[in-house]
Amino acid sequence: MHAALRSFTMSPDPRSLPIEPADFAVDVRFIAGPADGSGEESFDLTVCTPEWLARQAGSGFYPGRHHLVVNFELFSVSALQTWIESKVSAVSGDTWAEVGERLGRWAYWEFEDYTH
């Protein structure tokens, strides 16, 4: 079973970033589901620059799970979406739960830490 990207949204819109755009973070939510079937689940990721990450770690520590650090000079929404789509479609497993867990290694899966 392989995963497929169904949708992709960002908040706030990167075009609304402040004057100093090299220090930014945006929240990305993407919806993924089985490539060969119905169903979908959400995954969240904080996309940030090294400058933003350094500012967050100003007190000495910052837990960086579910973050993607990008080079501002090379950043574009279309490149990010293409990168996420390629990462999602490369994930496979025997069950959707296995696929979700693998995607959850780099993006927060809505069912992370869920127990039956």
**What are the pLDDT digits (tens) for 43-80?**
999 999 999 999 999 989 999 899 999 998 888 899 99
Residue pLDDT, tens place only, 12-51: 877 777 667 678 899 999 999 999 989 999 999 999 999 9
Mean pLDDT, rounded, for 71-90: 93
Q: What average pLDDT score do residues 106-116 get?
A: 83
Q: Which residues contact 35 (CB under 8 A, 6 or more apart)?
A: 1, 2, 3, 4, 89
Residue ranges covered by each domain of the chain: 3-109
Q: Judging by DSSP bridges, how do beta strands 108-109 and 25-34 pair with one another?
A: unpaired
